[in-house]
Copies of this chain bind each other. A is one copy, B any other.
Amino acid sequence: MALRNMVQALNWALRQEMARDERVVVFGEDVARQGGVFRVTEGLLEQFGSKRVFDTPVSEAGIIGISTGLALAGMRPVCEIQFSGFMFNAFHQLGLMAARYRSRSRGLYSVPMVVRAPWGGGVRALELHNESEEAVYAQMPGVKVVIPSRPRRARALLVASIRDPDPVVFLEPKRVYRSLREEVPDEEEVFPIGKAEIVRSGRNLTLITYGAFLQECLQAAELAERDFGVTIEVIDLLTIVPMDTRTIVESVKKTGRCVIVHEAPRSCGIAAEIIARINEQCLLYLHAPIARVTGYDIPYPFFAREHAYLPTIPRILDAIRRTLEF
């Protein structure tokens, strides 16, 4: 075991998978010589050479498009979009083309590719470098979406994504890239796509999140337990699409109360979908409305105002309190 931050953990996953399977190729803007603007792909060029690790022009639709072609022809592309907001430039290639080759060809063709992208806000970055567009993928059937929150799972889920037979969008919460370290085993580790994880168990309220806000949620849970004399179950979704409804529903059946936290705009976000599923599968277990602590339905503000946009521990605590007191 070694202590690794998320950047190192992801780099480790890429190294191991590239060594294990020579069909894996890595490319994107500034990923080769530069090693990625966040250094996730650092050293890969040196280790695997320029045939398997290469830079691209500034061309997001191109990156997703050639990635699709590489996958169609039997490779295992792992491409990078420099910031996930720039996925918008390639939504047609991803959502209409890559996501549907399997169904449009009735299984003759498939697109086993991974699209990695630094995702989310909170790092004082420029406009359009802070997007949380994950809910949009839910309306692009055929893709899977994974968002790790901590280094160990990040590594194990990236491995699973690379081995997955379908296109996976792998969103990396850049705010935790280097902010925490975990034991990440050197040996191979895979965590299944489609499984949420109960990272803290409790009886009085289910707190659901994913990505960077897991940290705030864990802290809020601790504070709430102490201040309100309850226990809180924290679920880390990890896979956003397809969602692990069962883990959610079982927890809510037990706790009867639920708060959901994400950075993305509220309307039609992931929290809305979770609420809808709880409504469908265990409405009568609810003691209180489910609360959403999310980004607002406004463009992510330039960074001087981002602290007012993003969920905070006080906002989460407040939602927990209201839900408990309801």
Residues of A within 8 A of B (CB): 85-86, 88-89, 91-92, 95-96, 99-100, 103-104, 127-128, 133, 135-136, 138-139, 141-142, 241-243, 264-265, 267-273, 275-276, 279-280, 283, 286, 288-292, 296-299, 301-302
Quote the shortest CB–CB distance from A292 to chain B (angstroms): 7
A264–B141 CA distance with the chains assembled, in angstroms: 11
Given contacts A92-B88, A289-B283, contact A264 B99 (CB under 8 A): no
Quote the shortest CB–CB distance from A129 to chain B (angstroms): 11
Contact residues in B for A288 (Cβ distance below 8 Å)? 283
Choose from B265, B268, B290, B301 the contact partner of A269 (Cβ within 8 Å).
Answer: B268
Evaluate contact between A276 and B298: CB separation under 8 angstroms: no
Evaluate contact between A275 and B268: CB separation under 8 angstroms: no
Closest to A102 in B: B299
Choose from B92, B279, B299 the contact partner of A103 (Cβ within 8 Å).
Answer: B299
Given contacts A88-B91, A96-B128, A280-B289, contact A138 B299 (CB under 8 A): no
Evaluate contact between B88 and A264: CB separation under 8 angstroms: no
Contact residues in B for A292 (Cβ distance below 8 Å)? 276, 280
Choose from B264, B267, B276, B280 the contact partner of A243 (Cβ within 8 Å).
Answer: B267
Contact residues in B for A283 (Cβ distance below 8 Å)? 286, 288-289
Choose from B96, B275, B291, B298 the contact partner of A85 (Cβ within 8 Å).
Answer: B96
Contact residues in B for A127 (Cβ distance below 8 Å)? 100, 104
Closest to A297 in B: B141
A279–B268 CA distance with the chains assembled, in angstroms: 14
Evaluate contact between B298 and A103: CB separation under 8 angstroms: yes
A-B contact pairs, 21 of them (CB 8 A): A86-B92, A88-B96, A91-B92, A99-B299, A103-B299, A104-B299, A104-B302, A136-B136, A139-B267, A139-B268, A141-B297, A141-B299, A242-B297, A268-B269, A271-B276, A272-B276, A275-B275, A276-B276, A276-B292, A280-B289, A280-B292
Contact residues in B for A297 (Cβ distance below 8 Å)? 138, 141, 242
A77–B35 CA distance with the chains assembled, in angstroms: 43
Evaluate contact between A289 and B299: CB separation under 8 angstroms: no
Evaluate contact between B289 and A279: CB separation under 8 angstroms: yes
Contact residues in B for A95 (Cβ distance below 8 Å)? 88
Quote the shortest CB–CB distance from A216 to chain B (angstroms): 21
Quote the shortest CB–CB distance from A29 to chain B (angstroms): 15
Evaluate contact between A273 and B268: CB separation under 8 angstroms: yes
A16–B91 CA distance with the chains assembled, in angstroms: 35
